[in-house]
Amino acid sequence: MTFSSEVKDELIRVTPDVRHCKLAEILAIVYFIGTVSLAETNEISLRITTEHSGLARKYFTLVKKTFNINTDVVISNSALIKHKHLYSVSIIDDTGAREVLKAVKLFKNQEPVDGLSLGSNSVLINSCCKKAFLRGAFLSAGSITDPEKSYHLEIVCNTMEDALFMKELMGDLSLYPKITTRKKSYVVYVKDSEQISLALGLMEATTSLMKFENIRILKGMRNDVNRKVNCEAANINKTVLASLSQLEDIQLIKDKMGLDKLTSNLEAVANARLRAPHASLDELGKMIEPQLTKSGVNHRLRKLSSIADKLREK
């Protein structure tokens, strides 16, 4: 099971306590995966279709508890994916379908046959209802990447208008997504790990949030260790290269003029480096009497390098 499926399975079990939040979640489900059909008799029916049996069950339960309306459930085979089922939950009764659509304020121009529109929906005034809507939208049209691989949460919308509405609603909840296009769809997405963590909390995916945070902490620790190891390796490499260069300079001075021609301070540092090719500057400083600081050793080695350069020019 993917991490996205785990999150959705957990959200399926989250039931709003109050009617207005139930309406907000029903609104999201109907808007993202619902279809309104008009019969020749001018009667309407409302159907939602999903590949997720849990979401179909949740919608069925929400409608039953909120409106006490009977729904028809049909299971069929997906035409696109082998061995995949589609679950349809329909309100065939005209009165019931109109009651649901009016309650969630989805009528456009007062008639469902004119299309569904979120607009400035009065169902979504309270922040708790916006959270419930976000949960319903994610269940219907969202996904989240396994945090072990990358950080990415998205909700797919059919129109730019819907994407902008979703972005604004998420902004009201302190989420700041971006919008991109994918084929004919508009994707509202978040890539920041802290923002995804916040989104999981807002949707009440508590167990998934804990798992996400654990993975995030472990990845952070691994990244810190890798950075330190890489930094240490780079420092070692830098020290070794510097040591080789210093040895080359000192050997040149020794061959061309002899170390005894140097001042006592420079000769001491040169001999210390020859004795300990791989020692750090701190370690070299402690080998000399009187002891030198790291900067003192570095200063004398640079003088030796300058002398070697002059000998090369000659």
Q: Is the torsion defined by CA of 213, 219, 222, 228 positive or negative?
A: negative
- What pLDDT does residue 118 have? 66
What is the full per-residue pLDDT of the chain (314 aa) written as tens digits? 899 999 999 999 998 989 999 999 999 999 999 988 888 888 889 999 999 999 999 999 999 999 998 888 888 876 555 667 899 999 999 999 989 998 988 865 555 544 566 666 788 989 999 999 999 999 999 999 999 999 999 999 999 999 999 999 999 999 999 999 998 999 999 999 999 999 999 999 999 999 999 998 888 788 777 788 888 777 777 877 888 888 888 888 888 888 888 888 888 888 888 888 888 888 888 888 888 888 888 898 889 888 888 888 87
Q: Which long-range contacts (CB under 8 A, 24 or more apart) does 52-57 make?
A: 52/8, 52/12, 52/87, 52/139, 53/85, 53/87, 54/8, 54/9, 54/12, 55/8, 55/12, 55/29, 55/87, 55/139, 55/140, 56/87, 56/88, 56/89, 57/12
- What pLDDT does residue 113 have? 47
End-to-end CA distance of the chain: 74
Domains of the chain: 3-204 (3.10.28.10), 232-313 (no CATH)
- What pLDDT does residue 81 have? 59
- What pLDDT does residue 111 have? 57
Question: In this structure, how many other beta carbons lie within 10 angstroms of the beta carbon of residue 233?
Answer: 10
* pTM of the shown model: 0.72
Cα distance between residue 314 and residue 304, in whole Å = 16
Cα distance between residue 256 and residue 310, in whole Å = 11
